[in-house]
Structure 1
């Protein structure tokens, strides 16, 4: 049950962010009409139900109070007042604050903790819980399109082989009986040459189609893992306003820009705390007397700007204020006192502004809860370095301060074998490694000028059945003259043996010799460019030890380069168990078992958290489950799906078509009317229950005090 709870909490985390984003977008759009109020009401209602599922009573209470206020506005068709808008925004901020406190692991965490000089949280979860992201339908459509291209190329490849076989058969027939010449040899050679040239051109076109499809597939898969910056940073505006009020600064205006920029969620999540430090720092150091602001022509209310933008493969996150700007004289004086610069060093602005990121550096005379200890900016710098990026401070234009963090846009976690090649540490992805072997000098074979080694040399030294190509990995890393010790070149200290990484992909084996094998580790791989190396061969870099990079290879590119270098052989045989006689008795397990069909339940709910909970419960108890987000999607699935639906479990409050309307549609359709419908909703008013049962629902379950046994007993009862 704890695993299920962690999964539901992860789903709820994604769902609540989506609801808050939509509500805040509606608030930012200006005056709200009845349609906008209705959308906010639906979002808050769904959020309340999802919070109940994960037992977040604090959020459920906030949502319930706001829902009641929104219902009165809808019911009386009243004009939305500024007080109503403020109440909606404050409720969103409170919900987000509750979630952030929970993510910090404490229900009563200090809302303004002192920054500490520790590295940012790791980019991967170690609590066993999954995280969820929402993927636009357009992205899924693009992936489907790419797969169609790949399947099309595969079909063309099959036709190409069929044409080649037909050509071979025709040439055999035209040659006539052994010793006879049925056709003119020159004419036949010319005909075969033309046919083979046409096939070669078609093969080239197919290869081009596959290459383009694989590039698109790589781009689309990467895009699916990216999320808008607003999902991580969008909630900070309310937090900043609360910090300013608590600090006594008064009101501040927070502007967000570039929240639609998409990047790796783990990267942006790792930047969240540093961004909060920067915003706190801006509140304190950007303070100015109102009269001075007016004299300088600044807005009466201080303005903080958080912007996100993409430059190449770098994500730039900036925090700017319109305050008094950096005090270069104070920075220089502090740097001299701390021994960071000599008294006679020229006060170059760029140099001075780089010093503020040193640990313990602060120009404030006294510390308070927000700043003055000199830790905040050093934490920001450490976070940027951990992500293999950089940070800089600049004087704003026309006033204020701008701090920008630039980091690689993506971080990917991979299991990597670390090996030494010359003075470099190379990473080989574990997914392509078949085995690690030590090849003795006496076992190395040279066949037609190429180097091989036998995999089974120690078991059967007399057979060459498992000869595998052997090449130095260094030859693909800018050292084309690198060679192998074939007979008398055994490496010192290695007992006359080579360390070989056996890579297997797409039915091909190749052994790559390295100087030394180090260890296998799970590493965070960034898109940072490996200076001096081919970016296609080395598309990622990791820094597990801080000062020594690991250059992570692309195995696809490596094997492609090896093939283009003229490599041959090494084809994999069938894996054990692939043969037709591997299954005892030649049958499948359970072949004599009764083919009783598993009942299928259609779950309809606009809350992903509720859908996940019901799906898990039902699948655990042996049901097949189909999911829909509202009545419109459910009806479409009922009319077009190949699934036979045995029972429908639906929420009532949903967009486009609610549960009552779905119930009416099912009951009025002769093809669907026999399917039992169970209404499961938080609407527990007697009128709603009577309306559902009189409308044809077989059961009405309220979500308050929900027990999974109620749902299972109800479904068993209606089937």
Structure 2
């Protein structure tokens, strides 16, 4: 009986969504006429009966009350009022909220307790498949049955040929003639076998594509019903009515991925209501629409699914976040309060800027749940200030949870896979071209061949480490085969890159990925296992975790085995060969001009829009920055403040700073030079030759 109940609940879940979608479409279409009232009544009546079957008395009660109200409108004697429309919409939202089970979020666990798992999708869930897709599947199956029949005929022809050849053997048989006859017959069978094999391969590819398409569902099937739930939460919170916008609901992705994101999205929407809603008076004073707007958008970026929740409220309170972070020991009171750093802290467990917890917020669990869900899908999450106001939180995860395009390599005794999305380049590096630079084994790589937009003739130094060192062999040496290294170059979030040397690159293939936790592996580094048919397992690595562990290990390079193979020092790979210049200016025109000039003369260039962004790059970039060229007048942090921050930081004080500004007052020039700037250039008399001479001089 329990199995039957679960199946009925799964069917009811799909049915209620369909009823709600139709009712809301009718309400959104405009004034209600008799046909619209009749259709809504029919839908509500069916919903009530279905709720009774699955013993959902709460849904049945709401539907019954609405049915009674609609019954009075059916004969047309009563006109439809605004109160009627509100009652219908509210009832739909109440039903949706109860079906979503969004009452009280999980309480914060006691220290050391295990967080409750996210709500699982029903085992016997149902999805809607277009008839055209089913027709395509039937067509493929029909083609495969035809191929199977031709295969049977081929075997029958081969058996006949064998039997005939056996009967014809005798003294009267001319061996040459018989051999020629058998050769012709076998050649014909071979050609037929080749045609059948080709058709079977094409049919299997089509079948694979069609089956994948069935597992991909539009975002609207998972997120489309959340509008009513959000409005209901806003009413319960006392915020009145809100406008909910859904964008990109036609985007298709793996159903299980979408379903795994559903609870995190609910957390984000709830968080936007609790922290983002403002009073009507404040909204009016700031020129915002009277009704708050929440936006849920879904889009594709390459093989990544981006799901964003944004509001038009007050935006992140950086001061409150910083104060909470200090209290929790996540940062020191005198640490730089960089926006991107602070906004990353809100995803820590137990983090909340809300003073007191109530029924639906303040326990600090919402955003940590979101971060954990994203990581479980081998994805990431970030928060940023909206434009021109509000907050945006974006989750980025792979489109498919089951299949992934993967580079399969051998490292030590393991066969591992690296997701193709992070691979910048595959290369062979001669052992003689590896040098020690700043304590790291590095090789030079032409940046133009790593990523589009690299400077003309610009080369970068890429540190290289043995991949096996992160797979249980900490003392592994760089693997050399035939005098060279096989290196996978991975791109980093800050624009830099690093290389991991492997024993062998095998192939690029689409793997079906299963959960690695089931086999007791390091699930942070190896979140999934692929099982190629007839081969040993492929341990699929998380590139984010791999890069994080590489950085925690000191971002060091590798070493060769044996004293005779020691990595030479310096040589032709001195880091000064390709200097990196950080250009800081809030004017995109000025940044573009300086970047063009510097890249044309062989420099590598990083860009920042103000001092805050520049400091973030200086602290987090894996690339060595040789000189800073900065404007003075900039928002958030000006050039003088940036100069002070660089000079007072022992890790950065060695970097020469060049001030380039339109401020040509003597007091400003004195302030800049006395503050530690190596040069002060005024834009009024700017000549590119002067800038190049100054940079060459400070280097």
TM-score by length of 2: 0.55
Partner of 1:142: 136
The one-character-per-residue Cα deviations of 1:495-530 (angstroms, maximum 9, x if unpaired) are xxxxxxxxxxxxxxxxxxxxxxxxxxxxxxxxxxxx
The one-character-per-residue Cα deviations of 1:554-596 (angstroms, maximum 9, x if unpaired) are 453649x9xxxxxxxxxxxxxxxxxxxxxxxxxxxxxxxxxxx
Say which is worse superposed, 394-403 or 305-314, in terms of deviation: 305-314
Distance across 1 between alignment mates of 2:76 and 2:51: 27
The one-character-per-residue Cα deviations of 1:100-140 (angstroms, maximum 9, x if unpaired) are 44xx8xxxxx5466566825326465xxx633333333332
173, 177, 184: which is aligned to 2:170? 177
Tell whether 2:204 aligns with 1:214: yes
The one-character-per-residue Cα deviations of 1:213-267 (angstroms, maximum 9, x if unpaired) are 2233233334434444334333322222222222222221111223344444444
Tell whether 2:384 aligns with 1:390: no
- How far did residue 196 of structure 1 move? 4.2
Partner of 1:16: 16
Q: What does 1:268-287 correspond to in 2, within 5 Å? A: 268-287=258-277
Distance across 1 between alignment mates of 2:374 and 2:505: 23
Residue 366 and residue 44 in structure 1: after superposition, are their counterparts in 2 closer, same or farther (change >3 A)? closer
The one-character-per-residue Cα deviations of 1:654-709 (angstroms, maximum 9, x if unpaired) are xxxxxxxxxxxxxxxxxxxxxxxxxxxxxxxxxxxxxxxxxxxxxxxxxxxxxxxx
Gaps of 5+ in 2: 404-409, 418-466, 469-503, 539-699
Partner of 1:547: 524
Q: Does the CA-based 8 Å contact 1:139-1:224 persist in structure 2? A: yes
Distance across 1 between alignment mates of 2:158 and 2:203: 24
Tell whether 2:312 aligns with 1:322: yes
- How far did residue 206 of structure 1 move? 2.0
- How far did residue 53 of structure 1 move? 1.9
The one-character-per-residue Cα deviations of 1:374-431 (angstroms, maximum 9, x if unpaired) are 3221121122222332211122233221111223444469xxxxxx99754999xxxx
Q: What does 1:287-306 correspond to in 2, within 5 Å? A: 287-306=277-296
Distance across 2 between alignment mates of 1:163 and 1:540: 41
Q: What does 1:406-485 correspond to in 2, within 5 Å? A: 406-411=396-401, 424=414
Distance across 2 between alignment mates of 1:558 and 1:350: 44
Residue 347 and residue 171 in structure 1: after superposition, are their counterparts in 2 closer, same or farther (change >3 A)? farther
Distance across 2 between alignment mates of 1:222 and 1:170: 46
Partner of 1:587: none
* RMSD between superposed Cα atoms in Å: 3.8
Residue 77 and residue 535 in structure 1: after superposition, are their counterparts in 2 closer, same or farther (change >3 A)? farther
Distance across 1 between alignment mates of 2:527 and 2:272: 37
Residue 400 and residue 194 in structure 1: after superposition, are their counterparts in 2 closer, same or farther (change >3 A)? farther
The one-character-per-residue Cα deviations of 1:426-475 (angstroms, maximum 9, x if unpaired) are 99xxxxxxxxxxxxxxxxxxxxxxxxxxxxxxxxxxxxxxxxxxxxxxxx
Partner of 1:69: 69
Tell whether 2:343 aligns with 1:353: yes
Q: Does the CA-based 8 Å contact 1:425-1:551 persist in structure 2? A: no
Distance across 1 between alignment mates of 2:381 and 2:100: 25
- How far did residue 320 of structure 1 move? 0.6
Secondary structure in structure 2 of the residue aligned to 1:84: helix
Tell whether 2:355 aligns with 1:362: no
Distance across 2 between alignment mates of 1:27 and 1:378: 37
Secondary structure in structure 2 of the residue aligned to 1:134: coil
- How far did residue 59 of structure 1 move? 2.1
Residue 206 and residue 399 in structure 1: after superposition, are their counterparts in 2 closer, same or farther (change >3 A)? farther
TM-score by length of 1: 0.54
Secondary structure in structure 2 of the residue aligned to 1:549: coil
Residue 328 and residue 24 in structure 1: after superposition, are their counterparts in 2 closer, same or farther (change >3 A)? same
- How far did residue 33 of structure 1 move? 3.6
The one-character-per-residue Cα deviations of 1:603-646 (angstroms, maximum 9, x if unpaired) are xxxxxxxxxxxxxxxxxxxxxxxxxxxxxxxxxxxxxxxxxxxx
Residue 111 and residue 235 in structure 1: after superposition, are their counterparts in 2 closer, same or farther (change >3 A)? farther
125, 137, 152: which is aligned to 1:158? 152
- How far did residue 318 of structure 1 move? 1.4
Partner of 2:95: 95
509, 530, 533: which is aligned to 1:556? 533
Secondary structure in structure 2 of the residue aligned to 1:298: coil
96, 101, 118: which is aligned to 1:121? 118
- How far did residue 305 of structure 1 move? 0.7
Distance across 2 between alignment mates of 1:247 and 1:150: 57
Residue 82 and residue 202 in structure 1: after superposition, are their counterparts in 2 closer, same or farther (change >3 A)? farther
Distance across 1 between alignment mates of 2:116 and 2:509: 31
Residue 260 and residue 78 in structure 1: after superposition, are their counterparts in 2 closer, same or farther (change >3 A)? farther
- How far did residue 288 of structure 1 move? 3.2
Aligned residue-pair number: 439
Secondary structure in structure 2 of the residue aligned to 1:39: helix
Residue 18 and residue 422 in structure 1: after superposition, are their counterparts in 2 closer, same or farther (change >3 A)? farther
Distance across 2 between alignment mates of 1:209 and 1:184: 33
Q: What does 1:185-196 correspond to in 2, within 5 Å? A: 189=180, 196=186
Q: Does the CA-based 8 Å contact 2:106-2:365 persist in structure 1? A: no
Q: Does the CA-based 8 Å contact 1:119-1:383 persist in structure 2? A: no
- How far did residue 77 of structure 1 move? 7.2
Q: Does the CA-based 8 Å contact 1:21-1:231 persist in structure 2? A: no
Secondary structure in structure 2 of the residue aligned to 1:307: strand
- How far did residue 282 of structure 1 move? 1.1
Secondary structure in structure 2 of the residue aligned to 1:320: strand
Say which is worse superposed, 38-47 or 323-332, in terms of deviation: 323-332
Distance across 2 between alignment mates of 1:533 and 1:358: 39
Distance across 2 between alignment mates of 1:381 and 1:274: 8
Secondary structure in structure 2 of the residue aligned to 1:32: coil
Partner of 1:436: none
Residue 31 and residue 313 in structure 1: after superposition, are their counterparts in 2 closer, same or farther (change >3 A)? farther
Say which is worse superposed, 221-230 or 379-388, in terms of deviation: 221-230
Gaps of 5+ in 1: 105-109, 414-419, 428-477, 480-530, 562-719
- How far did residue 291 of structure 1 move? 4.3
Tell whether 2:126 aligns with 1:132: yes
Distance across 2 between alignment mates of 1:370 and 1:423: 50
Higher relative contact order (CA 8 A, sep 6+): 1
Distance across 1 between alignment mates of 2:505 and 2:527: 14
- How far did residue 170 of structure 1 move? 6.6
Partner of 2:45: 45
